[in-house]
Structure 1
């Protein structure tokens, strides 16, 4: 090989080295345990079928017809019955309080009717209430109205909670009558002579 050919070969080798692409950069990340790293800029996308199913499941379901409230008719009937009983209870409480206040005035006539039924003699004087009677009348009047107020508040609370309430005014009404008759007996027995008529011939 002549000197000219050697020079041409060296020039060709130099040109080839200069025109060759540079080697790829070295990946400094640690080698993964399974598989290989994805190329830079690549992101995974689910198949079209899976995207459609996911969108359908995420969409809100169309609202169906509202279900009727359970026991709505029962609650309506209970509310009507409770209101009626409360109104009757108010009149009953006022009537009992009025009777307690009038009892000393009508006690003489009441005793005369009772004596005729029992076959006993009536004292020759009018009924004289004891000193404790005004206090008993006041206590009885307050209790009658208070029991009705408790029935009202308790019934409304149960109605708001959608619970049966008709039995509340019935219970309070029964308790009011017990209180009324207990106080009435105490008032009538406050006069010893008339108490003898009430207790019967053997008293």
Structure 2
């Protein structure tokens, strides 16, 4: 028996936290996530391509746009997972991935998301959860550009890729141990 999805409970959020392959692969494992789509947001050019994004000149970030069932997972829980998946203290980079396309940014889709995201940033800062200042930006969502087909479910489809083995796989293993109760 399949449960009916309450379409009124569906929400979107868009997150930038370094390479989208890691963020997408983790969220695809989480209960309540209906879809996790890799793409681009926050830049100036229209119809950006991965090649253009990689130059760092387009202003876009690599993002994952989530559609989620708010009756199964809250926005706050999504942000908690997001902050565990990347280092929000690194400005325009994640590890060896360097450039503004790898920035930490939360693109909010409504005023409630904006309030919650800013409150979480304030809480993280007050609790000094990170050794360095958090540089994550909170911005209103703008046009989302879906990434090329080969970027969708990249880790699932390319687990032997060298980057996936060195970067994505260890992050995903740590994520699964930490959030085992939230996995599909």
Q: TM-score, normalised by structure 2?
A: 0.24
- With the length of structure 1 as denominator, give the TM-score of the two structures: 0.22
Does 1 or 2 have the higher relative contact order (CA < 8 Å, sep 6+)? 2
More strand by share: 2
Higher helix share: 1
Larger radius of gyration: 1
